[in-house]
Chains A and B, each alone.
Chain A
Amino acid sequence: MLWSNWIECPMNETTITFSVNNVTRTVAVSEDALLLEILRDDLKLTGTKEGCGNGECGACTVLIDGQPVASCIYPAKAIHGRSVETIEGLGGQNRLHPLQSWFLKLGAIQCGFCTPGLLMTCKSFLDRNPNPTPEDVKEAITGNLCRCTGYTKIVKAVLSAAAELRGETPDAPQDPPGCPPVGRSLIRVDGLPKVLGTAKFAADISRADMLHAAMVVSPYPHARILSIDPGAALAMSGVHSVITGHDIPGEILYGVNVRDQPFLAREVVRYAGEPVAIVVAETRRLARLAVKEVQVTYQELPAVFDPRVAMSPDAVKVHDNGNVLLYRKMRKGNIDKGFAEADVVVERSFTTQSVDHAYIEPEAALAYWDGDMLVVECCSQGPHYLRHEIARMLKSPISRIRVIQATTGAGFGGKIDLLLQHFVALGTYLTGRPVKMVWSREESLRTSTKRHAFYLQYTFGATGDGRLTAAKAEIIGNTGAYASFGPAVLTRSATMALGPYDCPNVWVDSYAVYTNTPIAGAMRGFGAPQMSPCHEPLMDEIGRKCGLSAVEVRRINMVRPGSSTVTQQVLETGVGALETLERVSSYLPSREMEG
């Protein structure tokens, strides 16, 4: 539908009256508004969060007439005459609801983004079921995703709150008097605002006269940009500007390991979801609508998706200087001698998949001028790096750029890159006005970095009594369209190829390879977790062939003081592998359980 048609059927405004936290409110709403928009944008009750926009994650949970509801898909007009409870009404600083105080005391909060929704769901649940079992609590919170805590502490906190509400005195964590702070159960310093819903995540921050930005992204994995025509978008009333890579005043490429990634693609796009233009408009919805009106003409190019294919010399080139971004060799001892000494040889190939961090807070950032200082408030795991890149892009002294980390709704490595902070910085630099960008869940999944998918080939040799003599590993990591942390991740994979095991003869080849897939970057464990599903089953297999239990074969081979690693670092102190093994095996009820 053309924009002009849209104008012909103007949106009706109407008023609704409903109760919010026991206060009657009358609000003018557009006919197609959703409850979450009314709460956050009109009533400025930003304690309720948007995590997915599809009613799937539970971050937007509020209570309607006492029942939990996903406010992100609840039409505002349906709320007329009803009663809504939000996190802001649950408790105050000096009168915390027992759920809030037990979430604090038991550490059931980490990033805090899912916390308001969880608290509201649990409040409704305890109102109906004052005496729940742990299974009841787990069932009650199935609609609230948390990526940080692993839920165990949340379930404990809900059970403790239920006990307190019944008039009992639940056990609180007890620390021996006078013990040092290390190892004690402390209430986290940012806990209180998180249980109150007053912690400000980037999407919760607003400035007067603020504009909103949205991305135009490539639908193709590999294409040449022939033209970008912003005409139809700019013709829309309320659209301020359409920014392309040609508007960037300074450097055009960035990257933490290798500067290979355009701040905004100008000539070529290398993955589906790569940003090519930024629309700046008066509202977030208008910016998103205008995105559909920006006409980008592409010439599709052949693409490569499998890093093993991309390594061959005649493969499609993702970057001009070839697809092998990193080739890391690790050699220790003499691998041929090691296999010659082996009585047992085990060999396997493995693949691991790409993984999204899926933090519940989608990426968000806001930029504005403070005098001659350009300020960016954003979710981030690395504001100093962002500051440096934004200064390069704007050709500005770094002293004129300030990056403030807002409360960040988890990252797991995914928020360490420059993601959208440069888009709002550029928007403010070019328009002079505050500019905010908040990604949708779909945009976050499509454009953000991922865990590397790996292809691995492993061969271990061992003596008949189970001692490793040789370890050979070839590691191919799909680093996607741009380097991000790829070289560092694949280097770490090489150094961690044997996990906690000691072997005198090691041969490791590790490659980070470009393909036309989403960028692989930093994620928890940073290249080491992909190694575990390889070295562990091989250790089991050696154990089985040598008649050793899973514990015994590991006891023989684990690193200890005096062992040397793949990089030939001799370990001296602080080597905890064996102690860990002994402690874990003490929990195994029988030798059969040792495998």
Chain B
Amino acid sequence: MRWQNYHVMSSVPELLESLGQLDGRGRVVAGGTDLIVRLKETDMPSQPLTLLDVTRIDAMRGIKHIGDEIHIGAATSISEISTSRLVGLRARALAQGAGWLGSPQIRTVATIGGNVVNALPAADTSVPLVALGAHARIVSARGERTLPVEDLFRSVGESVIDPTREVVTYFIIKTDAAPCGASAMTRMAKRKAFTLPVLSVAVRIELDIPGDRFRAVRIVAAPVAPVPWRAKRAEEAISGREISIRSIREAAALASEDAKPGSSLRGGAAYRKDMVAVLVRRALLDALEQLDRVPHE
């Protein structure tokens, strides 16, 4: 059998109780666009799981604007995120990433929580979430905690979250603070749609008040490491610098220098490494454009 039982949960307490009773044999499922495919392929697994569907738990759904934060329920569908006006305006990189994920059919059911906990380094919502400095609210029988999304990844396909014991309920994103804050994502793939990326880069920038210097910048590239990877040396180098083609070039070069991509069917290591510089430059220019800034030489 593919799985032993499939239960639709109606609340977080009910979910925690079921996970507790099943003691490792229950597993959270949301859209299932990765998990169901895997379980279907390995029909008759040695330890059949009971799947606990969280997509109808109201507390885990929807997009809310709270102060200078956006809260997105972990069971919110990718299509809802990609078409959200709020996300598009205030966490633009995430809306872009969500729009690239899979196909319309996949985006209807796939969720942001599933995409993150599935823990593939170049997941289309993980990369922008890390760039945006998002946090995840996690609930288990032991209580609640909040972790940076950046710290949820252990290795390729391996999350810090144990889906047999705990669940991400929602994500917390500080909004891009206009007129000085913006974010952008760039992605390179072999086709225009419905394909995994050769390389993705997401950035968030914050300018100083006059708007001629970078105050703080976060740069994330993937897949160049087993987890979404922050180009920290590049981030430090550009923060505090004047907005210029030169400072952007230098940061892009540093990111490329530090990135250690591997080779796969989708792209070779050397090519990916070169493209890190190109995509970082494009993402920074795109983010600046959102703030009507054209860098001088």
Contacts and interface: CB of A to CB of B under 8 A. Distances in A.
B55 A78 contact: yes
Given A54-B37, A69-B109, A77-B8, A140 B104 contact: yes
B8 A78 contact: yes
B148 interface: no
Contacts of A6: 1, 44
Contacts of A64: 108
Central interface residue in B7, B29, B79, B103, by most chain A CB within 10 Å: B103
B44 A78 contact: no
A55 interface: yes
B62 interface: no
A121 interface: yes
Interface stretch (A204-212, A284-292, A444-452, A483-491): A284-292
B6 A55 contact: no
B40 A121 contact: no
B8 A55 contact: no
B109 A11 contact: no
A11 B1 contact: yes
A396 interface: no
A277 to B, nearest CB: 19
A11 B44 CA distance: 11
B267 interface: no
B108 A67 contact: yes
Given A6-B44, A32-B6, A75 B32 contact: yes
Contacts of A164: none
Interface in B37-62: 37, 40, 43-46, 48, 51, 53, 55
Given A9-B48, A54-B37, A285-B43, A74 B109 contact: yes
B290 interface: no
Contacts of B55: 78
Nearest to B7: A77
A80 interface: yes
B32 A73 contact: yes
Interface string A262-293: 00000000000000000000000100110010
A62 to B, nearest CB: 9
Contacts of B105: 55, 58, 61, 68-70, 121, 143
B53 to A, nearest CB: 6
B263 interface: no
B4 interface: yes
A55 B106 contact: yes
B192 to A, nearest CB: 8
Contact of A289 (B6, B43, B104): B43
Contacts, number: 92
Contacts of A74: 32, 36, 109
B33 interface: yes
Given A78-B53, A121-B105, A31 B6 contact: yes
Contacts of A9: 1, 4, 48
Interface in B8-51: 8, 29, 32-33, 36-37, 40, 43-46, 48, 51
A120 B7 CA distance: 28
Given A6-B1, A55-B106, A69-B108, A142 B193 contact: yes
A34 B103 contact: no
A53 B4 contact: no
A12 B44 CA distance: 14
B4 A143 contact: no
B249 interface: no
Given A31-B3, A288-B43, A143 B103 contact: yes
A314 interface: no
Nearest to B103: A143
Contacts of B37: 54-55, 73
B81 to A, nearest CB: 14
Contacts of A31: 1, 3-6
A69 to B, nearest CB: 5
Interface in B138-184: none
A125 B107 CA distance: 13
A171 interface: no
B5 A12 contact: yes
B124 to A, nearest CB: 14
A541 to B, nearest CB: 28
A67 B37 CA distance: 20
A285 B4 CA distance: 16
Contact of A77 (B1, B6, B108): B6
Interface string A110-124: 000000000001000
B194 interface: yes
Contacts of A55: 33, 37, 105-106
Contact of B1 (A32, A54, A78): A32
A53 B192 CA distance: 23
Contacts of A58: 103, 105
B29 to A, nearest CB: 8
A143 B51 CA distance: 26
Contacts of B192: 142
Interface string B114-148: 00000000000000000000000000000000000
A64 B7 CA distance: 19
Contacts of A1: 44-46
Nearest to A288: B43
Interface string A139-172: 1101110000000000000000000000000000
Contacts of A68: 104-105, 108
B102 interface: yes
Contacts of B29: 75
A75 B53 contact: yes
Nearest to A53: B40
Contacts of A142: 103-104, 192-194
Nearest to A73: B36
B39 to A, nearest CB: 8
B6 A75 contact: yes
B241 interface: no
A26 to B, nearest CB: 16
Interface string B183-196: 00000000011100
B232 interface: no
A143 B106 contact: yes
Nearest to B2: A32
Interface string A61-92: 10010011110011101101000000000000
A493 to B, nearest CB: 29
A289 B192 CA distance: 38
A73 B3 CA distance: 13
A139 B55 CA distance: 26
A125 B5 CA distance: 34
B62 to A, nearest CB: 15
Contacts of A32: 1-4, 6
Contacts of A12: 4-5
B183 to A, nearest CB: 22
Contacts of B32: 73-75, 78
A80 B79 CA distance: 21
Interface in A5-25: 6, 9, 11-12
A74 B39 CA distance: 12
A104 to B, nearest CB: 24
A63 B153 CA distance: 34
Contacts of A288: 43
Given A73-B33, A75-B51, A143-B103, 7 more contacts: A6-B44, A32-B6, A56-B194, A68-B105, A68-B108, A125-B104, A285-B43
Q: Shortest 6 CB-CB distances between A and B: which pairs?
A: A143-B103, A142-B193, A32-B2, A77-B6, A67-B108, A143-B105
18 contacts: A1-B44, A9-B1, A9-B48, A11-B1, A12-B4, A34-B36, A34-B40, A53-B40, A54-B37, A55-B37, A69-B109, A73-B37, A77-B6, A121-B105, A139-B193, A143-B102, A288-B43, A289-B43
Interface of A: 1, 6, 9, 11-12, 31-32, 34, 53-56, 58, 61, 64, 67-70, 73-75, 77-78, 80, 121, 125, 139-140, 142-144, 285, 288-289, 292
